[in-house]
Amino acid sequence: MAVGRFYSRPELVAQRARWKDQGQRVVFTNGCYDLLHPGHIRLLEQARSLGDVLILALNTDNSVRRMKGPSRPLIPEGERAEMALALEAVDAVTLFDEETPRELIAEVLPDVLIKGADWAHFIAGREEVEAAGGEVLTVALEPGYSTTNLVERILERP
């Protein structure tokens, strides 16, 4: 059963305006979230603790393929969205097809933009969020957790 809600981009931008009017602190993060693992859950819970609403923007299947190769994603975008929406920490899910979520972030302008520390060198949307008075933060990743490592471990099994 879904806890959060799926939004199209226009719906999310309109809802963001309502959250702002209500004085809600909006946190935004993004990623593929292919093969959900404890590292994902902990990052999402940490992100949610920084505000009233957590938006998770998922890469579309096409976007994941362009970034990770033809064998990915392992789980289709609709199912990845459904799993994310079942998490208590996630209030809103949307999809983006661009190489980065910069345009989406510029439209939503969250109060807090969160990325895993592995992306500290480049956080798409940083300039737009900071220019609007928001915060951009990185969170430490859980050692040993990555979808790529999980896939490798599964394939190594006899």
pLDDT tens per residue across span 122-154: 899 999 999 999 999 998 877 666 766 777 777
d(CA 146, CA 131): 32
Please give the sequence-ordered ranges of beta strands (E in DSSP) within the chain, or none if there are none. 5-6, 26-31, 53-59, 92-96, 112-116, 135-139
Most confident of 36-40, 80-84, 138-142: 80-84
The string of pLDDT tens digits covering residues 70-81 is 988 999 999 999
d(CA 65, CA 74): 10
pTM across the whole model: 0.91
Sorted by where each starts, the structural domains of the chain and their CATH numbers stand as 5-156 (3.40.50.620)
The string of pLDDT tens digits covering residues 47-72 is 999 999 999 999 999 999 999 899 88
d(CA 92, CA 29): 11
